[in-house]
Amino acid sequence: MKRRQWFAFSAAGALLLSAGAALAQSYPSRPVKLQVPFAPGGTTDIIARVISEPLGKSLGQSVIVENKAGGGGIVGASETARATPDGYSLGVATVSTTATNPAINPKTPYNPLTDFTPIINIAATPNVIAVHPSFPARDYQGFVNELRRNPGKYSYASSGTGGIGHMLMELYKSMSKTFVTHIPYRGAGPALNDTVAGQVPIIFDNLPSALPFIKENRLIPIVVAAPQRLASLPNVPTFKEVGLEPVNRMAYYGILGPKGLPKEVVDKVHAGTVAALKDPAVRRRIEDTGSVIVGNSPAEFAQQIKAEFDVYKKVVDTAGLKLD
């Protein structure tokens, strides 16, 4: 390489390093948006609002939660993918937006493995099938027997087509040889509202958003997707216990940004989230929802996203699942 070219490359490298250092020192200099790709009231919204205030304190700027529902999370996730990679527009990553929806929907306008910068997985949560109290069964065996006796009679609500509730219920249906009609909503909040009101008899939802209604006996839990029985629902079996281990998958809620997010920004948001998760009050609020704190590294979260996408892509291909 010629001496002049070497100096030019060295100067360019020095400029990039100094720009990165300056960004690390100045970021954030204004409020940061944390996009929730679902309507208010669901688990994604709950986790985002629990973490936003302490994360904002760690960063020294407000972290503002914004909801952008639609397409089972695709609309909001697409907005995050298209955002300027400067750290001021982040999003909450879920299994629905980074695994199940892209796995089942070939028209998803982003690649979950290449169009985002994973930062941290905040928490993992169980999932639950619950029914309205008017449903003629209150335990798993009665539930599955009722569905088999009356194929097509019942419907179930989910947070949206291609979401984790939709995909897991469809997998459950194929494995249990039952048929229930899917009613997709623009988020878990609206889906829960209609199920609690008796408009839809069944819901497959993340536990944190359904648990308050279960505790009030406004919903009856039937079976959970969790590593073992939950302390909050000791009498409710897991899918593994009823012989359906492939359905026994938890959800996750993490923070990501658009691709190309500078490492300095990633490191700062990651450190701020880890600091927030060390606060006993924050941990308690998350764990009280039935969730498990994760707080992994950006590389570990990226590997987790890929692993979940691969699992659901195989589910879609094996079961021949199609969009409604």
Domain ranges of the chain: 24-124+250-319, 127-247
CA separation for the pair 316, 167 (Å, rounded) = 8
pLDDT of residue 8: 52
CATH assignment of 127-247, given 3.20.20.150, 3.40.190.10, 3.40.50.300, 2.60.40.420? 3.40.190.10
* Cβ density class 9-41: b for 16+ within 10 Å, e for less: eeeeeeeeeeeeeebeeebbeeebbbbbbbbbb
Domains 24-124+250-319 and 127-247 agree in fold: yes
Which architecture, in CATH terms, is 24-124+250-319? Answer: 3-Layer(aba) Sandwich (3.40)
Q: Using an 8 Å Cβ cutoff, are 242 and 161 in contact?
A: no
pLDDT of residue 160: 87
pLDDT of residue 18: 47
pLDDT of residue 115: 98
DSSP string, 110-136: S-TTTSEEEEEEEEEE-EEEEE-TTSS
pLDDT of residue 10: 52
Q: Which residues of the chain have pLDDT under 70?
A: 1-24, 324
pLDDT of residue 172: 95
Residue 106's Cβ-side half-sphere holds a number of Cα atoms within 13 Å equal to 4
pLDDT of residue 168: 93
- Phi then psi for 260, rounded to 5 degrees? 85, 10
The structure's pTM equals 0.82
